[in-house]
Structure 1
Amino acid sequence: MMKFITLILLLFIIGRQENHSMNKEVEKLNSQDRNLEEAFQLVLDVPDFQMWLHGEIPERIPLKLIKNEFVSDQYDLKKFGERVRIVD
């Protein structure tokens, strides 16, 4: 019976450590996503880049970005006073 209790406690401790490691990885990925989102927003706001976005053309608003390995549809980017649309 004591071996059984020891085994259960050991499995519990190992599971907690794995869960903690997974949480750290998720936090790291979330941090990377936030950094990428901030970087994209900074690029969208660069003054020398504005002439390429053509905000004066109504059909260009809202700005659209193509979803890919770097651009997530979870990003909350803004341009020309509207949320940037992430499309497939």
Structure 2
Amino acid sequence: MAIDTKKLLALTESSQVEMQQLLKVLNIDSLMKLSEELKKIKGQEDELANLSPMLPSYIADLSKKVTFMIGTVNSAKTHASNRSKELEGLMSVLK
């Protein structure tokens, strides 16, 4: 069975476009700013408790989850960037 380099090249090029789109979508500047603000107010437990007794634990839990999510997104960005470079290499070989 012969290797269909034209098909492989076309799929690689469209995959490269998808990687670039993924990198654009994974922009989480606002979420990162929110994470910083949550970290700042975590130490103000008395003020938070005055607003609602459940707020200190809720803020702490939310901060932990947002920080984890940021790490996950950063990992996905790294993978997308690395695979994009590998796809560029493959395209240069196929052309």
TM-score by length of 1: 0.46
Larger gyration radius, structure 1 or structure 2: 1
Structure with the larger helix share = 2
Structure with the larger strand share = 1
More RCO (CA 8 Å, sep 6+):
2
TM-score by length of 2: 0.43
